[in-house]
Structure 1
Amino acid sequence: MRLLIAAVLAGAGLAYALWLVEFILPTRLSLISSFVSEHYVVSQPYHSLFRGGDVVAGILYAAAAGLVATGHHASDRLVAGTAAAAALFGVATLTDAVFVPDCLTTVDPVCERREFAAQVSWHHLAHLGASVVSQLAAITAVLALERLATRSGTRGDRMAARTGLAVVIVAGLACVAGYPFGWVGVPQRIQLVALSAITIGVAWRIAAADGGEILTGRGRKALPGGGADCDDES
Structure 2
Amino acid sequence: MTDSPRITERRARVGSWLIAVAIAVAGLCYSSWVLEFALPIHVDYVNSFLSELDAEGKPYREVFSTGDKIAATLMIPASIGGLLLFPRRALTTVGWIALLCFGTSTIADVLMPLHDCTPGDGSDCGAGGLFPQLHQPHALTSTLAVTSIAVAVFAFSLAAYRYHRWRILREAGVVILVLGASATVWMLVADNLTGNYALGIAQRIQVGSMSLWLITLAAAVVLEAREWIEPVSRR
Give TM-score, length-normalised by structure 2: 0.81
Distance 1:60 1:136 in 2: 19
What is the aligned partner in structure 1 of residue 12 from structure 2? none
Q: Given the alignment, which residue of 157, 160, 171 partners 2:172?
A: 160
Unaligned segments of structure 1, at least 5 residues: 227-234
How far apart are 1:61 and its partner, in Å? 1.4
What is the aligned partner in structure 2 of residue 86 from structure 1? 99
1:24 equivalenced with 2:35 (yes/no): no
After superposition, what is the alpha-carbon deviation per residue over 1:15-55, rounded to whole angstroms, capped at 9, x for unaligned? 11111111111222211101111111233211111111111
How far apart are 1:216 and its partner, in Å? 5.7
Distance 2:41 2:189 in 1: 25
Q: Given the alignment, which residue of 175, 179, 196 partners 2:187?
A: 175
Which residues of 2 match residues 37-56 of structure 1 at below 5 A? 37-56=51-70
Q: CA 1:216 to 1:167, structure 2 compared with 1: closer, same or farther past 3 Å?
A: farther
After superposition, what is the alpha-carbon deviation per residue over 1:193-233, rounded to whole angstroms, capped at 9, x for unaligned? 1111111111122112xx12334676xxx8x744xxxxxxx
What is the aligned partner in structure 1 of residue 143 from structure 2? 132
Distance 2:85 2:169 in 1: 22
Distance 2:202 2:77 in 1: 28
How far apart are 1:156 and its partner, in Å? 4.7
Match for 2:112: what amino acid? F
Q: Percent identity?
A: 25
How far apart are 1:132 and its partner, in Å? 1.0
Q: Tell me if structure 1 keeps the 8 A contact 2:26–2:70.
A: yes
After superposition, what is the alpha-carbon deviation per residue over 1:44-78, rounded to whole angstroms, capped at 9, x for unaligned? 211111111111111111221111122252x3222
Q: Given the alignment, which residue of 145, 156, 162 partners 2:156?
A: 145
Q: How many residues get paired?
A: 214
Q: Tell me if structure 1 keeps the 8 A contact 2:173–2:216.
A: no
Q: CA 1:3 to 1:34, structure 2 compared with 1: closer, same or farther past 3 Å?
A: same
Match for 1:57: what amino acid? A
Give TM-score, length-normalised by structure 1: 0.82
The 3-state SS of whatever aligns with 1:26 is coil
After superposition, what is the alpha-carbon deviation per residue over 1:156-207, rounded to whole angstroms, capped at 9, x for unaligned? 5312222122112111121233355322111111111111111111112211
How far apart are 1:2 and its partner, in Å? 0.7
Distance 1:85 1:154 in 2: 19
Distance 2:59 2:217 in 1: 33
The 3-state SS of whatever aligns with 1:144 is helix
Q: Tell me if structure 2 keeps the 8 A contact 1:93–1:130.
A: yes
How far apart are 1:153 and its partner, in Å? 2.4
Q: In angstroms, what is the RMSD of aligned CA positions?
A: 2.5
Unaligned segments of structure 2, at least 5 residues: 1-14
Match for 2:40: what amino acid? P
Q: CA 1:101 to 1:205, structure 2 compared with 1: closer, same or farther past 3 Å?
A: same
The 3-state SS of whatever aligns with 2:121 is coil
